[in-house]
Amino acid sequence: MNRLKHIYIILATLIAISACTEDYDLINVDGAPEYCIDAFITANSNYNSIRISKIVKGFNTDELSSGLETLPENIAVQNARVVLRYDNKQIEFKITKPQHNNKFVGYGYYATSDIIEVKENTKYTLEVFIDGKTYVAESKLVKGPENMTAKLKKTKLEIQKDDAYVPHVSFTDPDKNNTNYYITHMSDNLFDSYQMTVGSSRNWAISVLTDKYLQHNIVDLKFPFGTSPTGTSWYPSHETDVTVTLFSVDKMTYDYFNVLITQIKNNGGAYSQSPGSPITNFKGGAVGYFVLADVTQAIAKVNN
């Protein structure tokens, strides 16, 4: 009888406590970042990308991008001033013309027609001015690998029924005494599908790679195919030339993309890794990254 009485007391206490609790609004936390700045600069202007967006808080169905009825899209910022400084030089980036009428899609990208000299041992500073606020980040070029080659191998994969043609790469690490970090991109049509932002399908042709546990001379490494919450492979199921690209980045940028990729892969299962907050090298309160990346590219040809 005493045991049953104790159970009643515990239940009554729990009910009383729950009645006194308040919902905590995680969406409107004071001090949360207001803007996201993604700034990717290389010596090859085809890959340069600076996108600035205002972070949408919550799930407002009136502020959803075209074709995404359940997920919010950050609102593009079109009135920012973007300045890159190095070696006493100043380069201004201007807002690009939108590709769509929808205010959420194709906006927020800044570009320049000036030539950017990307070189080693030089500090680059990116300044972004938005509505009286200043966000600043610094970066230095990370040297890429040497002598990268690629070839296709017909491979049986567990994640797809048909055989796949998987690119394998060989290269020499630029720094054998330290860990090197890369963002990878693979495509059979590079300029159509290259993007540093996630597509509406929530698949991403981007992955991350580190040589922490690899040999200095890397031989026939299976190239990452990208990122998808379903594990869907991007490897072609037919013979076709495939372009593979390594962007050499610093550890901060690697960690930033690794957190995002972890989020994309999270399917809500019991064994999925817990979500994390992306780090940033911007001062002033914005989330995002600014990186000077070296580009190394090879083509895995059929019958190579």
Q: What is the pLDDT of residues 197-238, one digit of tens each?
A: 444 444 577 889 998 888 888 999 989 877 765 666 667 777
Q: How does residue 23 score in pLDDT terms, banded at 50, 70 and 90?
A: very low
pLDDT score for 7 = 44
Predicted TM-score of the model (pTM): 0.75
Give the list of residues 6+ apart from residue 57 with CB closer than 8 angstroms, or none. 27, 28, 32
- % of the chain with per-residue pLDDT over 70: 65
What's the CA gap between 158 and 149, in Å, rounded?
26
Structural element, H or E, at residue 11: helix 2-20
Instruction: Give ranges for CATH 2.60.40 in the chain.
Output: 35-139
pLDDT score for 127 = 98
Q: Please write the tens of the pLDDT for every residue from 255-286.
A: 988 888 877 766 555 555 555 567 789 999 89
Please determine, for residue 92, whether its predicted confidence score (pLDDT) is greater than 90: yes
What's the CA gap between 256 and 292, in Å, rounded?
14
**Is the pLDDT higher at 88 or at 74?**
88
**Is the pLDDT higher at 179 or at 160?**
179
pLDDT score for 123 = 96
Please determine, for residue 69, whether its predicted confidence score (pLDDT) is greater than 50: no
Highest mean predicted confidence (pLDDT) among 40-49, 50-59, 74-83, 231-240: 74-83
pLDDT score for 8 = 43
pLDDT score for 106 = 52
Using a 10 angstrom Cβ sphere, with 0-12 exposed, 13-18 middle and 19 or more buried, the burial of residue 156 is exposed
Q: How does residue 44 score in pLDDT terms, banded at 50, 70 and 90?
A: confident
Residue where the block lists tokens 């991350």? 208
List the single range of 54-63, 86-95, 98-107, 180-189 with lowest mean pLDDT: 98-107
- How much is the average pLDDT of 76-96? 93
Residue 118 and residue 133 in contact, taking contact as beta carbons nearer than 8 Å: no
Look up the CATH number of domain 35-139.
2.60.40
Q: How does residue 171 score in pLDDT terms, banded at 50, 70 and 90?
A: very high
